[in-house]
Amino acid sequence: MATVERRLKVTEEAGLHARPAAAFAQAAAGVAAEVTVARADAASQEAHVPARSVLSVLTLNIRYGDEIVLRATGDDAESALEALARIAAPA
């Protein structure tokens, strides 16, 4: 299985706090791919947390304007990252 990675700038006004973090985790839980997220300024393997865990996402303290790295492994990895990007960085 291939691993796909995507960097993006968070444009959600609230960052990934409270409701957006819950929507983010719920979307990650709805896909088959294993998805992780990390702040781009600390994107080492150890800095990635499970995107399915709202508490883990909240611990990253991701705010508006921060750059993040999404990593997904699985058959629907591309579509998983696209769905999460729509939450973190709505157009």
Q: How many CB atoms lie within 10 A of CB 68?
A: 24
Length of the chain: 91
For the chain, the domain total comes to 1
17 is catalytic: yes
Q: Is the pTM of this model over 0.75?
A: yes
Torsion of CA 29, 91, 65, 37, to 10 degrees: 20
Residue-wise pLDDT tens digits, 66-88: 999 999 999 899 999 999 999 99
Range of the domain at 84: 3-88
**Where do runs of H (alpha helix) occur along 1-91?**
18-29, 54-59, 77-88
Residue-wise pLDDT tens digits, 17-27: 999 999 999 99
What is the CATH number for 78? 3.30.1340.10
User: Choosing from 4, 6, 8, 17, which is the catalytic residue?
Assistant: 17
